[in-house]
Structures are given as structure tokens and as C-alpha cells.
Chain A
């Protein structure tokens, strides 16, 4: 007899939609189980630009999307101030642009009206000389430039913060657990799902009054399993990740097809992107291709002529769960979202789906979805996700005091405070069993052993690869050459892994990094990966274990 977990709502998918809905429901007293087949936020959320921007480019077609995004961007800044950072944008205008500065400025003036919603400053117009003083690497061909304000967020940690708060309010969150088939009543009602733990292989059941399909680009697959049809227009997007910050400001660039893209500072790095192309491939093996990489670099080169001199370490790639639309180019598709009740008109009462949407508006979308579920459950508790802080967002952190108290470096304290907010003190206190001083595991980020112990003990990390998203392990120039084995050792102790499992986790992590690096392997990164291979094959001796 397999394990059975009864609950009110089963949420399938642990990205920003799934975790956001789980939190919202849990705060209203609904009992929730969430299953995520990989790591929280490891799909589209992680592959996004990590920007909670208003979407200047939706202003013309979808002013509603812009309004919602700006409004919710403001809310996210309130509830998770530690995870959010300001990204001032620089928009250069070239003499051969189709739209001249006057028209651009009209658009920006319209956008200024939304800025107060997200604590942004109004735009300014700079001369070419002023812009190049701010960012000397800008092309000398620019006619003038505009500034505008946007906000970045650690999208992975945002998912985790939502999940942690859901758990604190009684939700159960199961990572590396996939829904394999629906549980159906004799009347055809969906009453949860059989799920499978992909780490242990165990199959068990979640019995739920309602089931919410929040699987992002996997929504059509999950629906199909439940006997329902949901169409999407999946849009693949890639980002290039640079070894370090290329610029202080985000810089607009235009693709050969006229699309807007940007190079922007993100955490310790810069990223460039993104693309938007219809995707019909395997959702579990999304890889950046040579032509996508060339397309992005070509666009960036117009604004930043020497962009190719900067080292690209790896790519991010994901698929947007865009609403289905026929007869439009990818860029013209609506970024709106939809909550579907499969009981109304469909053949699967008890099942709901959320599809489409933008990261920036996740909280509003979750609120809408939770309202619908609560109405069905007869729960009339109000939504509180816009007022209550996410875990870590309760109060500001005195980083200098944290560094002093924990005897750690200031950069380490800064990053801890960024990822964990007010809980950073608790994180650094997760010391090893014999009370050693903090040990630096990854110097790039940096990551301390206590943070790894914390994410294993408190946050429910189950695999080494989870740590890439949780603590940004292995994302620096060395791609984990220096830290993977050390991190695996800490997790092995916390999670009781034997030697064979430990080496397998290292091998999987290394293989995962390789998939992200190989499509852009060039320049100095070729030498960095030469060292990476020597470490993993030569020293760690993982020869037989590599997947």
C-alpha cells in the first residue's frame, strides 16, 4: 500500500506560478501539496531575464500587461526587498533606427506614468557624449540615449522564498517528484495524482479536492495526462551569461530583425538576451544553438562594438508558456495569462490550469488563481501576499554587523544577505557538527559551507544540482571546478549520501554545467574547461560515474 497524502489542493509545478499559488493558498489556510519534478524554479523562472520590469515593449499592444507588471513589481519590492536590485537602463538611439528619438521619447513619457507603481524614476534624455561618459564602451555611432528604471530579481530565490513561506504555513513541497497519472473519481472528477519520487523511485498518491496545473511550458503535457487539451505557443529564449559584469547599466540593443534585446547586470554577472522563437523540441533537453548565440552577439555588437572581447561562460535557456495564438510572430503574441477551470466546459472537473503570463506579474496571477480555487473550496479568506513579507524580507540586514559577528568576509555577508535577507544570521549559524569556523566552498559567488548546510537542513535541497539555483553554486568562471567536490562533501554529510552517491552527484553537476557551457565554448573559457576536465577526470576520478 503506497503512501497517501490528503490535501485541499495539489499544485503541479514548482516554478514561480506554482510556488506563488501555493503560498497564496497556504496563507488563506488551504492545505496544499506541491510537486515539482526537478528543482524549484529550475524551468522557465530560472531561464528568465530575472527582471520584474513593466514591459515597456508591451505598452502598445498590451497596456494591461504593462500596468499589471508595474503594479506587481512594486509589490514584490515591498515583500522581498532583499532579492530585488535596481537596474537602470540605457537606450541608445542610432541615426539608422526606424524610430527617431522624438517618437521614442513619447513612448517613454507614457511609460513614466507607470514608474511610480514600481518606484522607478522618470526617463531622462542624454546626449551621445553624456551616455558614453556613463558607459564608455557604447558605440560612438549613437545619436542620443534615454535612461529608464527597471528592477532585477533572483528569480530562483523568489520561487524558493514563496515555497518556504508556503511551507511555514503548512504546505508540503516535494521536489524531484513528478505527477504520473490523475486520480479520478468514478464520476470522472480529478482528485489529485499519483506521483513518483525521481530520486528514490517511490510512487505514492496525493489526494486533493482540486488540482492546479502550474507546470509552465509543461502545462500541455500535464493536461494531456489528465485527458484535457491546453494549447500553448511555446517560445524558446536564451541568454548569454558573461564571466563578470560587462557594464554597470543595462544597455538596449536591436536584433537584425528589429527586436529589442539588452545586455544587463545580473547579480555577479552580466547577461545578454533574449531570443523568442517558436519551439517544438524536447522540453527536457533545451539547448542554446549556434545561430541563437550568433544572433544575440550580433545585436549586442551594434550597441557595444567590442562585446565579443568579453568572456561568455555559459547560456541560460528556457521556454515561455505563452498563450496560443495563430498567425502572429513570436514577439507579437500576448503576454497575458489565463486560468482555466476544466470543469466548466471541459471533461475534468476538479482540474485547473494556469498558463501564459510574465514573471513580473506572478503575484497577481497567483492571487487570481487562488481566488478561483478558493471560490470552489468555499474559502473566503482574503489574499495577503501583497502585504506579508516573504521569508527574509521582514527587515533590512546590517551586513557589516553580520560579517563581524560571523567572522566572514564582507562579500560573503553581502551575498548571504541578498539570498536570505533577515535570515542570513540563522543561515551562517548552521555550522558543522564539530563547530568549525566557516569554510569557503565557492570563491566565485562566494558560498560558505554553512549556507549549504542550511539549504539542506531547512530548505529541503535534495541534490547537488539544486544548489546551482539555491546558492548559485558553480556559475562562476570556473563553472564549479573548484567547488563541486567540496559542496558535494557537505551535502553528503547533511543528507547521508554514501561515497558512490556523492561521486554521482558531482558527475551529474559537472555534466549539467557542460551542457550550459558547450554551446558557447570559446576564448579563455576553453582553457577554464580544460582545468574543469582535469579536476573531474583526473583528481576526483569520476570516470565511470558520468551520465
Chain B
């Protein structure tokens, strides 16, 4: 096979595949499943912050002014020496990193727009997004559905009580949200709970996904419109669980909003649909750009005589692939980029070393030996991954023509630092660009792959 192969079906892998395709490289994307991106809740955090979480500052300690992501990126670069942001942009500095994100964001917005999802926000303004639990997440980018529940500029929040929906407790959400608003000094911003007058749009469904499927249809849309009749007003948010359609979110939102903000709360699996929508849109964008989408799990990557060879885990599941350039965006444990088992923790495709942020190896060791007591402590296991150089080449021994992207890269803890999708976007695009230069360069010269550009 000529051209490039991307392994990984999340944001990092899809971004790399789209960049390659747009550069004119024949590209295939191999995915074993939907990946961790599909479990995300509706925001794409470049540099998330959280009130009360010391390692995620959101206010300037001296002036008390809220910090936008642009400033938070500078703080992040100054502290975390093995975070992929630092590895790739540490030398260039915060402004270069922010500029790279702005370019990346524009490209992602372009890919998603065509598939019915808009990307809202910027690095210069914080989005204040309520979760289904009523906690506030300070973010920079959010997807259609969640984005319109930004509390900035909002004068009142009406939380819609939809009875019997799993993961949705409107009164609980209201209690916590009111308390968070008070703690942050955002008031006066009243929060009230209103029982949906007509709950036929949701009745008997149970899970948000079932309601969303119902609302994708015209009848469901009509029922939701009726249920929201008379709620909210200009600058008065109507907050719902993540039920605004599996595939028609933008159209549905436009239809039911009627001059007032209607938004979804950030959610987590199994109640989050935003990640499903994002994954679906990325898959469709890939297909539209000419990326050949393959389903299957790679078993190992071999390199001999300057040629790469990707073999399936189950012999015969797919024909071995021999790409000129390879982007690995296989994720961590959820994605399968790292595995834990009888051989200890290991990286299955290349057998690369896996290191925690302090540079200690965690591969070859049982998983439980790389965790600490105390749930909230930094956990080496969950901040570990492969190491890369500034050009995203896996270290120290990966063959030429291989680049890394997303959470497969170690040095940061996506859960505690909340930069998982930010890293996926930045490194996915960067890895795709480098792989494209490599493949196009090697085609130009008509020679076997050289070292990466």
C-alpha cells in the first residue's frame, strides 16, 4: 500500500487522517472501536480550569481576574515539563502554542460544520458550562448542544425536570448549580426547576439516548417544542439533559430555541451523547474527505528494510498493511493503546517503553504497582504513555515514518488535567502534517521512506 495509515478512531486519529487526506495523501484510518473521544461530555478543553481545584487555576492569584485559556496555556507550559504541550511547544512558548490551537480549532470547526456540529468558543473567553450534576466547568471550546448552555451573559437558568430520565436530577442539579454560582460570585443569577409541562417527548424512554433518538424524528421535535413552550426568555437559559438528538442536534436546537438559549448540560457516560455525536461527525468527515475507514484491531507494527508493516491482532481479520507513513493514535487503556495483563502494562503495537510524568517506566510491571493509595493523588499509571520528541516521533526506538498523537502520548493525566481532547486535536493535526510531508516527500523522490521531516 502506498500512502498513510492512521490507527485510532478518536479525535486524534481522525484529525490526523483528515489532515493527510486534505494534503492529498491516500489515507486509511484503522479503528478497533469508537475510542475515548466517544465518552466525552460536550466540551473540548484546550486548557480547562475548575474552581476549587488547585492544579487547575482559573483566576489570577494577584488580581483575582478570571484567566482565559490563552493565559492558562502559559501557566501550563511553565509547569508541566512532560505534558505534550510542553514537549511540542515548550521551546516556542505560549503564544506559539495558542496560535497552533487557533489554527487547529479552525480546521476542526470546518470539518464538523459540514456534519451538523458547530464548535463554539475561543481561547480568549471562558465558557461557564453547567454539568448535569450542577458543577461548573470552565472551558474554552464546546460543541453544539452544550455550547448554548454557557452561563456567561445569562440572566436566569431554568432547569427542565424530565421525570424518569437516567442521570438527570433537575433538583439536585439546581441545588449544586446555585451553590457554585454563589461561590464564584456570578450572581445574581437565579436558578429554578420547572417540570416539563408535557413530558411525552421523554416518557417511558429511561435513557437519554432513547429520548434523543425519538427527538430526531419530526414527531419528537414537535413534542419537545410543546414541552418547552413558555419557558425561559431572552438571555434566560433553558437547561436540558443531553437529549437533543443523536444526529440532528443543530437543526433541532434551531427549531426549539425560538429566541432564547436552550442548552444541554455537560454529562458523562453512560448519559453523554456529545462524544457519540462528535465521533460520528468525525467519521463522516473522514469519509467525505476520502479517508478509507477500516474496522479492526492491529496486532503489531513491524519495520524491516525501511518498510512498515501493520498486522492484525486476529490473523486474517484484515490484510497486512504497508503504509509509507503511520500515525498511532491508539489512546490509553480505554482505547487499547496501552494494555494491562499478565505481562504487566505494555504498549502492544511496537512494544515501546511506557513512562510516567517523572520518566519512570511503568511497562513490564503489574498495573496495580503503578498506582498510589489515595484516589485523588497523582497516579503514575494514569499519566503514563509513550514518550515523543518535539516532532511527535515515539522515543527512543520507533522506526522511521511513525508519529504519535493523542492520549497515547504520556506525560499528562487527562482526567485530572482535562486536556485530553486538547492534546488529541493539537497532536492529531501536527502528526498528520508531519506524516503528510513525509509521504509526499518520499513520493516526490520516488525512494523508500526517509527519516521524518
Contacts and interface: CB of A to CB of B under 8 A. Distances in A.
B164 A537 contact: no
Given A518-B368, A541-B131, A534 B414 contact: yes
Contact of B180 (A492, A499, A527, A545): A499
A538 B366 contact: no
Contact of B195 (A434, A489, A518): A434
A438 B135 contact: no
A544 B52 CA distance: 5
A482 B267 CA distance: 11
A529 B36 CA distance: 13
B373 interface: yes
B418 interface: yes
B165 A546 contact: no
A493 B367 contact: no
Given A531-B39, A538-B415, A543 B53 contact: yes
Nearest to B335: A527
Interface in B50-100: 50-56
Contacts of B299: none
B133 A489 contact: yes
Nearest to B418: A538
Contact of A510 (B54, B176, B342, B375): B375
B263 interface: no
B189 interface: no
Interface in B308-359: 332-334, 340-342, 345
B172 A489 contact: yes
Nearest to A290: B368
B136 interface: yes
Interface residues of B, number: 64
Contacts of A510: 375
B337 to A, nearest CB: 11
A537 B340 contact: no
Contacts of B345: 526
Contact of B382 (A485, A530, A543): A530
B90 to A, nearest CB: 24
Contacts of B132: 485, 539
Interface string B414-447: 1110101000000000000000000000000000
B368 A530 contact: no
B154 interface: no
Contacts of B131: 539-541
A44 interface: no
B175 A498 contact: yes
B56 A523 contact: no
Contacts of B179: 498-500
Contacts of B415: 530, 533-534, 536-538
A457 interface: no
A513 B375 CA distance: 9
B296 interface: no
Kindly name the residue among A438, A511, A529 whose own CB sees the greatest number of chain B CB atoms within 10 A.
Answer: A529
Given A527-B334, A533-B415, A541 B366 contact: no
Interface string A501-532: 01100010011011100111111001101110
Q: Is the interface of B mostly helix, strand, loop or mixed?
A: loop
A499 B134 contact: yes
A353 interface: no
B167 A486 contact: yes
Nearest to A434: B195
B227 to A, nearest CB: 15
Nearest to B177: A499
Kindly name the residue among B169, B178, B341 whose own CB sees the greatest number of chain A CB atoms within 10 A.
Answer: B169
B366 A522 contact: yes
Given A439-B166, A486-B167, A521-B367, A539 B268 contact: yes
B161 interface: yes
Contacts of A121: none
A325 interface: no
Nearest to B52: A544
Given A502-B175, A518-B371, A537-B418, A531 B269 contact: yes
Interface in B380-409: 381-382
Interface in B104-118: none
Nearest to A407: B204
Given A434-B195, A486-B167, A503-B176, A511 B266 contact: no
A535 interface: yes
B278 to A, nearest CB: 15
A436 interface: yes
A437 interface: yes
A141 interface: no
Contacts of B373: 515, 518
B208 to A, nearest CB: 12
Contact of B175 (A482, A492, A534, A541): A492
Contacts of B53: 541, 543-544
Nearest to A537: B415
A481 B133 CA distance: 13
* Closest 5 pairs between A and B when the two form their complex, measured CB to CB: A543-B53, A489-B172, A546-B376, A499-B179, A436-B163
Given A492-B175, A518-B368, A544-B52, 18 more contacts: A290-B369, A482-B269, A493-B171, A499-B180, A500-B179, A514-B375, A518-B373, A526-B367, A533-B379, A534-B420, A536-B375, A537-B376, A538-B41, A539-B133, A539-B266, A541-B50, A541-B131, A546-B376
Interface of B: 36, 39, 41, 50-56, 131-137, 161, 163-167, 169, 171-173, 175-176, 178-180, 195, 206, 266-271, 332-334, 340-342, 345, 366-369, 371, 373-376, 379, 381-382, 414-416, 418, 420
22 contacts: A290-B366, A440-B206, A489-B169, A493-B172, A510-B375, A515-B373, A518-B371, A518-B373, A520-B368, A521-B368, A526-B345, A529-B382, A530-B382, A533-B379, A537-B418, A538-B268, A538-B414, A539-B131, A541-B52, A543-B53, A543-B416, A545-B52
